[in-house]
Structure 1
Amino acid sequence: MPNSVDTATRQNFLPVPLALLCLTKELPVDVYWSLYQGAEPVLMRGHNIEIADDEFPKLLESGVETVFIPRDQADVFQKHLRENVQSILGNDEIPISQRMAFLNSTGRTMLQEVFRSDNLDKTLASVHVISDHMTTLITQNDVVAGELFHVLQHDYHTYTHSYNVASYAMLLAQGLGIQDEDELHSISIGGLLHDLGKLRIPNNILTKKERLTEAEWQTIKRHPTDGFTALANRADLSFDQLMMVYQHHEKLDGSGYPVGIDGDEINHFARICSVVDIFEALTSNRPYRNPNSTKEALEILDQMASSKLDGDMVKCWKTLMQK
């Protein structure tokens, strides 16, 4: 049975997808789990105790999706992931779908923790690490957009959305003919950071099921500006990356925000981000609606092509998703 995470548990433990641990042999941290939904986590496996090959996979098959790491061991856990992720991602004996799923879980867990820390230097450092792995995996393997879609999580959390958008943006950029690894790496970093400004929005607004008030909608519309302002003075970010943060909600017909610019004023990288950002939002679970199917989402993108979104990019993304 999937685990729910209450407030006290969130304060004391870092929830970790169990699938993330299935490819690791030793863990330098204690692993806890909830015996039933909503229960206080109890110790399942002490740190550095040998793990049987089938222990975690069997638990996963039984329906347990989430385990917990004590928050005071989070730094040790993140270091362990960084030290092992490259060997797992580079292991050709592991199917590419499993490696993509592993990177997805690893990246989401890292983003969740650094977004929660509210430390910009730490966030940028982790984003670069995630992007390095993402770039290596995607450029050195034949990653199919439709297959990637099926291994990604599709919930409403900002860290999940940011990871997915970055992955899609790289694939769309490749489909558009961008092959330079440095450029693809840059695009993935912009994707990981594009919604940084949402971390300033109260959670009760982001998760509200009812229609937003005008004041709440204005708060939402401020997030590109807030993200850009937070990052504008960073010497380690390019103009294109900053525009992915600032312009990803702008539209070709001038109907977007935060400025309402149109046409050629919208940065090329921001246009890429805009297409996959909308697709990801449409196909993810949101507190206020169920997800659209990929077919429905692509039809909506089609309706927005040329007038609001770059038509060539929409056409390319449709081709990639239908491959």
Structure 2
Amino acid sequence: MRTLKLFNKYTREDVHAIFDGSTTKFTRGAGVWGLHGIVKIPNRERDFVFFVTIGQDKLGVEFKENITRDGILTWQSQKRHTLNHPRILEFIHHDHTRHNIYLFLRTSKKSEPFTYMGRLAYIAHNQDVEQPVHFKWQLLDWDEEEPVQDLMLDTTEEDVVDEEIIGNQLIETALPEPKERRERVRNFNSKHVDFVGKQKENKNLGLSGELLVLEYTRSQLTKAGRQDLANKVIHKSVVEGDGAGYDIESFKEDGSPLYLEVKTTKGGINSEFFISPNELAFSEEHADSFQLIRVYEYISNINSGKFYKIEGSLSDKLNLKPTQYSARV
């Protein structure tokens, strides 16, 4: 039996063998696995396989399924689906931390195999359109550096940069207003939504944010007349690795220590980000000298973004949600 690997190619029969080969028989061109675009995985609540063909208009509507350079899939359901259809409600309330939707994708050639693109997380749906319902999903395992062939990428909107934005800069903003988490209210035109599971593994993005903050910190000390302190700032996560509980060892203007932890996402000011138990503990133990530098709306091709600061113990300032558990009997 073949195993599931990102960006490998699979026929419908291959996918059936992986997810359902022990319980049902595959029939080419017929049945759930041989024909349907949406397949529920047996004995797994709210787990699905999507077979998607992009690059063509479907069902007589002016709508094209596509993937952007940031790994956002624009997708439509079956034509019979209304906004209140039970299957659609399952998709709208899909929790990618508890359940899985596996995406298999190809272009308009119906004879070619599908490419496995990884798992999906819900971003938004168009609340004004049904039969079919239009969705946006984030590919959690997306890697824009991976040479994926035969994909039609819509990169026009996400890659446009305002000419007035200056490269290699950080703009400080106020903290966002605390608010209760509301489910499924995102705009269908959202361009960047970040997910914990996706962002915590994005080493390049994290390092880019740290380097930007490192230079910003040194420049601020220099402007304050403390070139001596600016020369002593250390990029701790590079020198020592990620175990210290912070990324940058800096100073306040009076010379007292200041520990900076940098969190960077391409998403907006309210995007989720990942905090490790070690970082949380360090912020509690060094509350008087700890700052979280939250870089958001980071634009990689001009190396710029916005940021806000959170000072002190993070457990007192953040709405924390457990995503993993350490267990024993």
TM-score (norm 1): 0.33
> Which has a greater percent of strand?
2
> Which has a greater percent of helix?
1
Which of 1 and 2 has greater Rg? 2
